[in-house]
Structure 1
Amino acid sequence: MHVNSLGFRTDLALLTASGSVVEDRGTHLVVRSPDNPSYFWGNFILLAQPPVPGGEREVVAAFHTEFPLADHVSIGIDTADLTDEARSAFEAAGLTVDVAVVLTASSLRPPQEVGAEVRALEGDEDWEARARLSRELYPETSEESFMTFARRKNTQERRLVDAGRGARFGAFVDGRLVSTAGIFVTEEGVARFQSVETHPEHRRQGLAAAVTHVAGQHGLDHLLQGAGVRTLVIVADTDGEAIGVYRRLGFTDSERQLMMEKRSGEWASMGGS
């Protein structure tokens, strides 16, 4: 199956490079992250096209067949077009439909200066701080469940770092990690941001812009087989604060990315992981 979406194409490139498995079924892909089964968008189905009318529940059933032990349902479609009837049918099947914005940039405008040290994460202590920062964003989940997920996600990302594909950067205030962003090469000339996160007590202080800018500049300067990165890719919710930050840095809208999900139990409050 050929993937047209820049958002999903870069997602898949990073997932496979960090240990996930993609199975091509012709009409759809099945993406698995065996080492992290609670990583919602590391374990999902990507459809080439929306299902025929009335086929929405069959798609959800197919997910459960592929992932019988999953506490979630994650389904992407390689098109941003979904009829009102199809949206209603997926919602009736219990899924939340989200159309995110994929933004791109070939250069970045500098943000305002901030009173923080911005640098790459370097060792186990830094990466553990990253996991704990993520935990602060989802306090409704249990400590054990979330930290298991976050540490496994760190392990996947550190494989990308070790392979020379990029780095994760953090903004440190008084030695404490309060904002972070990852940037990794996905294909020649393209680098994708991953998980831009800021502690709730440190938002609206320019930290997300600062760490995104430093990560982006690293991406633009990063080399892959002698070819410099020319395009930065980042994905944002249409109605969140982050998209304004990215646009002020110089990112422009490129396409829409269609994702649907259902989360159960303590994971029900989580989004975007």
Structure 2
Amino acid sequence: MRKLLLSGIVLTGLLFTGAASADEGKVEVLYAGSLVNLMERSVGPAFEKETGLHFQGYAAGSNLIANQIKGKLRRGDVFISASPTVNPGLMGAANGDHVSWYVTFAESPLMIGYNPQSRFAADFKKKRWDAVLQEPGIRIGRTDPKLDPKGAFTVQMMTKAADLYKQPDLVEKTLGDPENPAQVLPEETLVGRLQSGQLDAGFFYSTETSDLKIPALRPAPELQAKASYTLTILNDAPNQAGAARFVDFLLSASGRALLKQHGVDIVKPVVTGNAQAVPSSVQAVLDAAQ
């Protein structure tokens, strides 16, 4: 019985060590769905090549990810949001104390993108974009305003456009209900649906349209909305050290160069929250970026 007990202890120890090793070699990054191409095809592979660590990404609407973290339905090491307004809901004891600080590091304006093979493509070159979006039969895609900042920005921008262009019914004619099921789609699938011809047009950030060569129109300056990307290391991250290395990489000169290549506008990094909780290696990169 003693031998069996000792064997069990040894086996448990080996399993625990193996699990720890697996965690140490993998960095789980939960990120805004607008960054799928950037993360999976560029940042992830470059990070793996430089560090030897395995990048594992999960993409969805920023609010959706935050809700999953808060509800303990998803766990990760790094969280990248498309809006600073998402992070406070994860900060403080009342919100589970999942986040202590976050860094705003990049921006990407909201654009109207369209499929060049669509029968409405020519109209986008001749007419103002809001007129084309009101044409009969056009299929428009956007994200859920409750689950994704881009969806909320879309509704806000169209509401401003209705006032700017003196069209009181513009929102109703183009978007319908804010949660219109004929238009609202998961952020991570929106680009694919446009490219496959399931959609004629949609609302995207410039990083998506630039990166994937999607024809796009930028709204008037008075209507401009944009993603403001933030990143943080979650307080209960299984791999704190690996998370810090990922953040170090993304904020480094190499990481910023990749962001620029994918149409993301770099901004001076700003820390919000408890700056004392920022890992020393991350703080050093931030200082270098000032």
Q: Is the radius of gyration larger for structure 1 or structure 2?
A: 2
- TM bucket (normalised to shorter chain) is under 0.3
Higher share of residues assigned helix: 2
* TM-score normalized by the length of structure 1: 0.28
Structure 1 or 2: larger strand share?
Answer: 1
